[in-house]
């Protein structure tokens, strides 16, 4: 089985919950699901942004509603699940734990504990809360409709880029969470997919807590190699639809994953040296 590429389009009509649906990959997931005939609950900590995504779907003839949700707060995620089931008049068939933030530019020991807590609260506890609340609901759902959970991680989950510790740890945790959940749900009919892209053309860099030098570098890489969020969302939904665990849309993510697994020590040292040389060139 090809665990990375995309396959057929989702043929069933998903009742989907998408976090971080106000912009970027989350909004792209919501729009694509609506295009495929699904009903979508668009949630975001920015209530106005979530509403805008839902209204755009409705204007295009789809079905959507919006709700404010801070995924770092278990009470919000529990309320999201209750509200979604009330709106669907039943359980969702797909949950996309997408909400996330960016942070980077400082080494361990200099990055503040406030930034650590902020990033882990959203990027790691968000998917944990989503899986904790929604997994029992999906387990208890009956019928022949496919069910799925998508957790949005990043190639940073295994990339180990210096200066990105909090972000790397949050995404590595999301990767491990997804692998563990997939093992626990094997044979249940619930497909678990973890999305690990490299650069996606979203506002995560400008909206996050990232130093100016790192922001400039990320902006350039995003322009050169970044995929559109729409393309990434389509590929990930296709992967989940056919039961794929890993979705790594870009070739550089797949290459990095392969090298890291084959020669982890050499890979990590090479990343460190390359980053150091690149940083020196940026300063000069």
Q: CATH code for 15-256?
A: 3.40.50.720
What's the pLDDT at 227? 80
For every residue of 143-185, DSSP letters joined together read: SSS-EEEEEE--THHHH--TT-HHHHHHHHHHHHHHHHHHHHT
Map residue 240 onto helix, strand or coil: helix
Rounded Cα gap, residues 233 and 241, in angstroms: 12
Token pair in block for residue 171: 């995404």
Return the DSSP state at 61: T
Nearest to 189 by CA among 149, 235, 160: 149
What dihedral do alpha carbons 132, 64, 190, 228 form, nearest 10°? Answer: -100
pTM value surpassing 0.75 = yes
User: Which residues, in sequence order, are bridge partners of residue 241?
Assistant: none
**For the chain, how far is it from start to end, CA to CA, in angstroms?**
47
267 annotated active-site = no
Active-site choice (4, 134, 167, 199): 167
Rounded Cα gap, residues 47 and 29, in angstroms: 17
Return the DSSP state at 200: B
pLDDT along the chain (284 residues), means of 10: 41 84 97 97 98 98 98 98 98 97 91 96 98 97 87 95 95 98 96 92 50 47 68 96 96 92 90 66 44
Angle, vertex CA 190, rays to CA 185 and CA 192, nearest 5? 80
What's the pLDDT at 145? 81
Domain ranges of the chain: 15-256
Rounded Cα gap, residues 235 and 244, in angstroms: 11
Element (H, E) at 259: helix 251-262
């Amino acid at each position: 089985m090809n665990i990375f590429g995309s396959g057929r389009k989702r043929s069933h009509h998903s009742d989907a919950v998408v976090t971080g649906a106000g912009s970027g990959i989350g909004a792209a997931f919501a729009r694509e699901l609506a295009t495929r005939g699904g009903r979508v609950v668009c949630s975001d900590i920015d209530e106005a942004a979530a509403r805008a995504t839902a209204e755009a779907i409705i204007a295009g003839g789809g079905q959507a509603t919006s709700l404010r949700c801070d995924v770092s707060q278990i009470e919000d995620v529990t309320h999201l699940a209750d509200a979604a089931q009330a709106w669907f008049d039943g359980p969702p068939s797909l949950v996309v734990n997408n909400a996330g933030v960016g942070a980077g530019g400082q080494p361990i020991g200099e990055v503040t504990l406030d930034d650590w807590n902020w990033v882990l609260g959203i990027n790691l506890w968000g998917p944990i809360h989503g899986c904790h609340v929604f997994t029992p609901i999906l387990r208890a759902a009956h019928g022949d409709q496919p069910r799925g959970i998508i957790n949005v991680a990043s190639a940073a989950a295994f990339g180990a880029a210096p200066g990105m510790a909090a972000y790397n740890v949050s995404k590595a945790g999301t990767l491990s969470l997804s692998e563990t959940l997939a093992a626990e749900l094997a044979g249940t009919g619930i497909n678990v997919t973890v999305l690990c892209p490299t650069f996606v053309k979203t506002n995560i860099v400008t909206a996050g807590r990232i130093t100016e030098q790192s922001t400039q570098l990320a902006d350039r890489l995003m322009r050169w190699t970044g995929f559109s969020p729409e393309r990434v969302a389509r590929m990930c939904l296709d992967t989940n639809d056919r039961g794929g665990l890993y979705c790594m849309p870009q070739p550089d993510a797949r290459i990095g994953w392969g090298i890291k697994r084959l020669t982890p020590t050499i890979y990590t040292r090479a990343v460190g040296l390359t980053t150091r040389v690149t940083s020196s060139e940026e300063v000069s």
